[in-house]
Amino acid sequence: MIIAPRIRGFICLTAHPEGCAQNVLNQINYVKSKGPIEGPKKVLVIGASTGFGLASRITSAFGSDASTIGVYFEKPPAAGKTASPGWYNTAAFETQAHAAGLYAKSINGDAFSKEIKEKTLALIKADLGQIDLVIYSLASPKRTHPVTGVTHNSVLKPIGEVFTNNTVDFHTGIVSEISIQPANEEDIENTVAVMGGEDWGMWIDELKAAGLLAPGATTVAYSYIGPALTEAVYRKGTIGRAKDHLEATAFTITDKLKDLNGKAYVSVNKALVTQASSAIPVIPLYISLLYKVMKAEGIHEGCIEQIQRLFKERLYTGAEVQTDAQGRIRVDDWEMREDVQAKVAALWLESTTESLPSTGDLAGYKKDFLNLFGFDVAGIDYEVETDEMVEIPGLV
């Protein structure tokens, strides 16, 4: 079929298999171009199909020749209906990994559930024995708790007071003021239940109890901080509470891994266009200004550049891992540079619907958004018929 984008708000209902495959190939080629990393050999990536998780799987496999198991939640294709992009990304990744002689298998289902954890543990036991790196990169709007059965929905709200600021509808380019009502206690608890560290801790507990973590095993989860501009809705909002919890969980996990000499880290990554971040109010306007400034400075990075740098210059340098005062690895260092933030803050004040096409990188935002779904990718002919029924070669 001929596949075109069908956009509804923050999501695109269609995805292009060849476009997604090309994105994956570009990421693989980037990692190879940066040379080998003395990194992990057996890697489990939870949230492996898109964004930072996919970049982590690609960096592990093509930077360190690692065997990888990916866990993700994606929609398979049906006749006349495309799969979700992570499905096509994973198919492309596993095809390339197998062609390179690398072990790569995956599990599609709810990573929060007991069933998917058990299935993953059984696969590790049968095929890999022990894991030396676990990447935790889930971004989900909801979680059904495996013990209570309660389904928690996360919200993106400020805490304490109404937050009013500008935002942009990145499809239309219209800049407008929005006000977001503050969260109540239940909103905070629900968001922490979904995006906090409890599930990360459960994965590590279960892996360890089953003897599936290698001595010196490392686990990394991803966080975000960002500037004062977005603080009320991000770091000091409901999602920020979840990130506080995630960051605290790293210390709890490190304690539990002491006998294995293992360690848990949180890496603070830069703001990027992903399916998760497009849904957060105010962030798209911030990202379009940030892209403009970072591209002008020659320091813009996407997920793959971020994660390649995380592995090569933070996690696997041969020396001790450098962290900030709160124990976090920082690869948002270029985003948070004072000169970068001063420029973004100045542009923020002058950005209107009329000026944003020049003050911000709205075009870059839109392109990255379409790219997430395999559209607007260089080298792909979108007028050509394509087969939506793609299989994932390593799907268990």
Count of residues in contact with ligand NAD, rule CB under 6 A: 29
Q: Which residues are catalytic?
A: 234
Does 274 carry a binding-site annotation?
yes
Site map (CB under 6 A) of ligand NAD, residues 255-294, x = contact: --------------x-xx-xxxx-----------------
Q: Is 243 annotated as a binding residue?
A: yes
Of the candidate spans 105-113, 174-182, 342-350, 376-384, the one that interacts with ligand NAD by CB under 6 A turns out to be 105-113
Q: How far apart are CA 236 and CA 157, in angstroms?
A: 9
Q: One symbol per residue from 198 to 227: x for binding ligand NAD (CB under 6 A), - otherwise; what is it?
A: ------------------------xxx---
The residues, any chain, with a CB within 8 Å of residue 139's CB and separated by 6 or more, are 47, 51, 195, 274, 275, 276
Three-state DSSP state, 113: coil
Which is nearer to ligand NAD, 113 or 252 (by Cβ)?
113
In this complex, which beta carbon is closest to ligand NAD, that of residue 64 or of residue 371?
371
With residue 220 as reference, give the H or E element that holds it.
strand 213-223
What span, in angstroms and rounded, lies between the C-alpha atoms of 319 and 17?
40
213 binds, among ligand NAD, Na ion, none (CB under 5 to 8 A by kind): none
Judged by CB under 6 A, which of 17, 19, 40, 51 binds ligand NAD? 51
Structure tokens given for 209: 């109890």
Cβ pair 38, 66 in contact under 8 A? no
Residue partners of 360: CB distance under 8 A and separation at least 6 = 168, 285, 288, 289, 291, 292, 347, 351
Query: Taking the CA of residue 290 as centre, how many other CA atoms within 13 Å lie in the half-sphere pointing to its CB?
Result: 25
What residue ranges bind Na ion (CB under 5 A)? 47, 51-53, 137
Binding site listing: 47-52, 73-74, 110-111, 138-139, 224, 243, 272-274
Binding site listing for substrate: 224
Q: By the criterion CB under 6 A, which residues form the site for ligand NAD?
A: 47-53, 71-74, 86, 110-112, 137-140, 222-224, 269, 271-272, 274-277
